[in-house]
Amino acid sequence: MTTGGKADVTVTRDKARAVLKTIRDLTNQRVLVGIPEDENERPEGDAGNALIGYVLETGAPERNLPPRPFLVPGVEKVVDKSLERLRTAGKQAMEGVAGAVNIQLNAIGLEASASVKDKMDTGPFEPLADATLRNRISRGGGAQAGAREELANREAGNPPGTDLAQPLIDTGNLQNSVTYVIRDARNRI
């Protein structure tokens, strides 16, 4: 078509390669939330954060430790938001938007790990045993004052609670180790 003697030119750019790459990125990536191996060490050098987290999540009846699930419920709390982010990433992938998948996957990881940490803070969880409170008091540290006050409340006849002595927060080491990684799904984890 011509207007005023000049030809109208429409330039289209083939985005097929970019679209295929972003779709591949989306389908081949996984967001993993938890305690990766490089966050596993503890200053005490005993059991690592991953093992401690697993035991706290699932419980250990042989040691009188009730389950206090925090990882699975924390991630489940943000599933709907994560699915919306994946939809957004899919739309952007179809448009060939470079980096869109990575941005959305990182946002999912940040939101899920923050939700897990929030669950560790807020529970609800079964209160700590008196023996655990005494152990916290004897070790000292930041959790000592709350454990001492909780134990005194119980000895005064008040019911056990978790406000003063949070079951999953002692030194903060475990909570600080919760994070996320993005891995290629084609590689073994």
The values of phi and psi at residue 145, to 5°, are -65, -45
The yes-or-no verdict on residue 156 having pLDDT over 80 is yes
Query: For position 39, what pLDDT does the model report?
Result: 74
Mean pLDDT of the chain: 88
Predicted pLDDT at 184: 86
Per-residue pLDDT at 2 exceeds 60 = no
Place of tokens 């489940």: 76
Q: What angle do CA 123, 128, 134 make, to 5 degrees?
A: 145
The per-residue pLDDT for 186 is 75
What is the spatial distance between Cα 74 and Cα 94, in angstroms, rounded to a whole number? 30
Among 34-38, 94-98, 128-132, 143-147, name the one with the lowest average pLDDT: 94-98
Q: What is the pLDDT of residue 143?
A: 86
Cis peptide before 124 (omega within 30 of 0): yes
Maximal CA-CA distance, the chain: 97
Residue 141 zone, left/alpha/beta (φ > 0; ψ -120 to 50; rest): left
| Contact between residue 69 and residue 80 where contact means Cβ atoms under 8 Å apart | no
Percentage of the chain beyond pLDDT 90 is 62
